[in-house]
Chains A and B, each alone.
Chain A
Amino acid sequence: MSKVIACYKWVIDEADMKINQDLSIDVRNAKSKVSDYDRNAIEAAVQVAKMLGGKAVALTFGTSKAKQSIKDVLSRGLDESFWLNAEEAANADNAVTANVLAAAIKKIEDVSLIICAEGASDTYARQTAPRIGAALDLPVITSVTNIAIQGEDLIAVRKLQDCLETVKVKLPAVVAVLPEIYKVPIPSLKAVLAAGKKPVTEYKPEELGIDLTPLAKAGQLKGYFMKRKNIILDQEDSATKAIELVKYLKKEGVI
């Protein structure tokens, strides 16, 4: 049966991140999550697999911590999951990530479609789908808001800056979807329970023969600090606050 692969990333929940006084970043108490937009990509894979009469499977490249993600994604309607387990994933750049995912996709047989989100919630680099396409020399369609299947063709609607572009491609192909493509349903209790019984395949990077040295050298990571005036208008009544605000805005020359 042909497979539709949803690629996803297990990321730190940025809402739990703490930025210290010196702008260093503390993620010790941060929980992890399936990257927000990847959930829409997973739902797209589930829906397109139905159209194709195929299987929807998950693929991730992550450290040992990503193990927790597998039950989560399998409860979202996917049939099977593949996990590339390597500690190097923590420092991988976009090139390494795409090359590793592409090598895994070659190992997974009978793949008709690879679906990625446009970007991950930590890096939001939006490189993975085009790079996987390049690594496998497959056609790529990005910024997709709608997918339909017609015979052997996939018809996609792309949302670009000033137009909607409808394009057609013969499968296999790589597609990057925008979050609005499908709403993410909340998994049912039954689906959560069934997730534990679905097949999981773990790959080690040695099996893939990919160089895991990042090409982009990451340097300092610092919390972003926006210097603002932070003036809270604390006059007694709201009418005075409104008057004061208008005075300030005039002084700033913005009204």
Chain B
Amino acid sequence: MAGIYVYCDNDNLAAELLSFAKKEGQAVYALTFSQEAAEKIQDFGADKIYVIKGNCPVIESYGKAIAEFLKNQAADLFVVGATPRGRDIAARVAGYLNCGMVSDVLSARYTDGKVATEKMMYGGAAVQQVVLEGLSVITVPAGKFEAAESNSSAIETLSLEADNRVTLVETTPIKKEGVDLSLADKVICIGLGMEKKEDIRIAQGLADVLGAEIGCTRSIAEERHWLPVEQYIGISGAIIRPQLYLSLGVSGQVQHLAGIRDAKIIVAVDTNEKAPIFKAADYGIVGDMYEIIPLLTETLKNS
């Protein structure tokens, strides 16, 4: 059946994608891998939810089978949540269909068999418009569309054959050393302007008063190893959308800024008045964080 097909391994994002697809006025079908996932997204207006039954625990291995299924259904568009698994499976499907695909769209509009999209380029420094025609694939990050409850969907089982060449040895849950920054309301970000690891304590003092979580730039996590890699903010790390983002000694490289552009208010503290972070900030203090942080902490405590 023609229409927009949606898959995401994260239920909340799947609901956002269904609402997007529904809004575009097409028939909407969702793919899931469990009855439980299907039930979680049952009230978001899909015309039908397919529960894929197969014998492989690595869901990416269904890429080829999903491509064939979409072709047989005469699908118009395959919309996938931009998670690590989602991006993989989406690109595999696009590869097997040999069709166009846009990754991590900033926006998407589907009309007359074409999908008009925008995506980031050059680490977030530029925005590129891209149009896809015919059966195509897009991946969509969280927060681009609002999930809206709608009619309840029928659930149907779908048997697909997986490619069993990649076998699962084991799965270990990641022990989250830090918090999920993407959900944080306030974030303090540490950059290379901080002199030593012990000084994170000073930032933590400010974070405690503010009720903020601590994040960092890529260099702090990957070069200095001061904080876990899950805590770095940027295009290849955490994409955050807090009410308040406050940076300490962050220069503001474009890849970092790509991770904070949806913050409501951006505050920057850095010694270098020419640092690009100030152009991206709502409020800036040109100064030494070692002087500013205690003053700010005190002011907040007393206010």
Contact = CB atoms under 8 A, between A and B. Distances in A.
Nearest to A164: B172
B132 A215 contact: yes
19 contacts: A12-B122, A17-B126, A121-B122, A126-B87, A131-B91, A134-B63, A134-B96, A163-B173, A164-B174, A224-B120, A224-B124, A230-B284, A232-B283, A233-B284, A241-B285, A242-B292, A242-B298, A246-B296, A254-B243
B101 A95 contact: yes
A174 to B, nearest CB: 10
A163 B95 contact: no
Interface residues of B, number: 86
B91 A130 contact: yes
Contacts of B267: 245, 249
A162 B230 CA distance: 11
B172 to A, nearest CB: 5
Interface string B77-97: 000000111011101101110
Nearest to B89: A130
Contacts of B295: 238-239, 241-242
**Most chain B beta carbons < 10 A, residue from A14, A129, A220, A246:** A14
Contacts of B99: 95, 215
Contacts, number: 263
Interface in A124-149: 124-135, 137, 139-143
A163 B289 CA distance: 36
Given A95-B100, A228-B282, A230-B284, A241 B95 contact: no
Contact of B171 (A126, A132, A164): A164
A167 interface: yes
Given A167-B166, A180-B229, A229 B174 contact: no
Contacts of A242: 285, 292, 295-296, 298-299
B167 A143 contact: no
A239 B101 CA distance: 52
Query: Do most interface residues of chain B lie in helix, strand or loop, or is the interface mixed?
Result: mixed
B186 interface: yes
B155 interface: no
A50 interface: no
Contact of B291 (A179, A238, A255): A238
B196 interface: no
Interface stretch (B21-29, B33-41, B42-50, B258-266): B258-266
A141 B130 CA distance: 27
Interface in B112-165: 119-133, 136, 163, 165
A246 B126 contact: no
A56 B168 CA distance: 27
Given A93-B100, A245-B283, A249-B265, A130 B92 contact: yes
Contact of A168 (B63, B167, B286): B167
B92 A231 contact: no
Contact of B169 (A93, A166, A243): A166
Nearest to A217: B131
The 8 closest A-B pairs by CB, nearest first: A134-B95, A219-B129, A215-B100, A130-B91, A131-B95, A242-B295, A14-B122, A139-B165
B266 A228 contact: yes
